[in-house]
């Protein structure tokens, strides 16, 4: 997920591939709601931990004097029990800030969740070509890429975000 330290992370992300001639740099995507559903049905203790114990996410950009942070559960649910979003980003997760009696359970739950998110049965892999625009729900689909060799060619993706409300509002308008 991009920007998990936002109170309301962007709803949709667009990655426009301008150049991708370097070796490596293949993309991956995983439906985090499908992984959450798998845990809900097969490991309710892990699921409960991921939906109840918040983590701290922090913007660690060294170029900024002020750093934003936000506490949120890895899996958040709506009042009706539907999936709202998934916050998972090991790069921006801050120090674990929970009761010491919960730490072992939290570490194990997040480790299990992370392993499932990287499991080939949940993940798709593909290569973006120049001109491709990869669009996804940033609060549901987690994305990544393989390592690439910058000495073997060029790779440039231009990204931008849109709130979910903008998309839903436009779709509702077009239905009229």
- 104-133, pLDDT tens digit by residue? 999 999 999 999 999 999 999 999 999 999
- Tens digit of each residue's pLDDT (9 = 90 or more) over 146-158: 999 999 999 999 9
Q: pLDDT confidence of 2, banded at 50, 70, 90? A: confident
Domains of the chain: 12-175 (3.60.130.10)
For position 1, what pLDDT does the model report? 83
* Distance of alpha carbon 127 from alpha carbon 25, whole angstroms: 8
- From residue 170, how far is each of 16, 109, 134 by CA, in Å? 22, 38, 20
- Tens digit of each residue's pLDDT (9 = 90 or more) over 53-71: 998 888 877 777 777 888 8
Selected residue with higher pLDDT from 2 and 63: 2
């Amino acid at each position: 997920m991009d920007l998990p330290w936002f109170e309301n992370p962007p709803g949709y992300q667009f990655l426009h591939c301008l150049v991708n001639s370097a070796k490596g740099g293949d993309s991956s995507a995983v439906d985090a709601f499908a992984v959450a559903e798998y845990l809900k049905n097969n490991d309710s203790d892990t699921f409960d931990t991921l939906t109840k114990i918040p983590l701290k996410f922090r913007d660690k950009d060294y170029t900024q004097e002020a750093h934003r942070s936000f506490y949120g559960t890895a899996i958040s649910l709506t009042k009706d029990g539907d999936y709202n979003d998934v916050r998972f980003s090991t790069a921006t997760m801050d120090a674990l800030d929970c009761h010491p009696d919960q730490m072992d359970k939290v570490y194990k739950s997040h480790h299990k969740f992370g392993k499932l998110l990287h499991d080939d049965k949940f993940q798709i892999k593909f290569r973006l070509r120049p001109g491709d625009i990869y669009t996804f729900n940033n609060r549901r689909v987690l994305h990544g890429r393989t390592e690439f060799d910058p000495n073997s060619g060029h790779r440039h993706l231009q990204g931008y975000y849109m709130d979910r409300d903008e998309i839903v509002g436009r779709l509702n308008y077009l239905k009229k």
